[in-house]
Amino acid sequence: MILDRLENAARYEAMYPGFRVAFEYLRKHHEGGGLEPGRHEVDGVRVYASVGKDEGRGRDGARLEAHRKYIDIQYVVSGHEVIGWRHLGECMETGQGYDADRDIEFFSAPADVWVPVHPGLFAIFFPEDAHAPLAGHGHLHKIVMKVAV
């Protein structure tokens, strides 16, 4: 997991294929204006944006999840986001298993760490990072960049 400000994103662009395109998109749309909730194509299946306007669920309502096909770059436009984290190797399955169509698996293990992610910050979650988004309270506007592994 990585947590930083969007103004520092250039430090991470060479880290993984697709990061440069994802961060360029975030810099262009960082205020979120004009982006409707839902999926927005950026670079075919390699990079896309998922815009969300949701209510926080609190820590008790947020479940750990992980992805195999995509890395998440979760950027907060507005609201008070909190995201839980736990290493994937320490997670227990919920019995539903991995959903390949949605590229998601949920876990019953609790988060080890809760990280506040304020507007203007992004958090990167790799496939080994189980994360529990939407653990804050109130209205939340986010752009989640999905970068193919």
How confident is the model over 104-146, as pLDDT tens digits?
A: 999 999 999 999 999 999 999 999 999 999 999 999 999 999 9
CATH number assigned to the domain comprising residue 21: 2.60.120.370
CA atoms within 13 A on the CB side of 39: 8
* Number of structural domains the chain divides into: 1
Q: What is the mean pLDDT of residues 38-58?
A: 96
Q: Judge whether residue 22 has pLDDT over 90.
A: yes
Please tell me the predicted confidence (pLDDT) of residue 33. Answer: 79
Please tell me the predicted confidence (pLDDT) of residue 93. Answer: 72
Secondary structure letter of residue 46 according to DSSP: T
Q: What is the mean pLDDT of residues 51-65?
A: 96
Are the C-beta atoms of 71 and 124 separated by less than 8 Å? yes
* Band of pLDDT at residue 32, cut at 50, 70 and 90: confident
pTM as predicted: 0.95
Range of the domain at 109: 2-148
Please tell me the predicted confidence (pLDDT) of residue 95. Answer: 67
* Measured CA angle at 75 (ends 74, 79), to 5 deg: 115
Using a pLDDT cut of 70, give the percent of the chain over it. 99
Please tell me the predicted confidence (pLDDT) of residue 31. Answer: 87
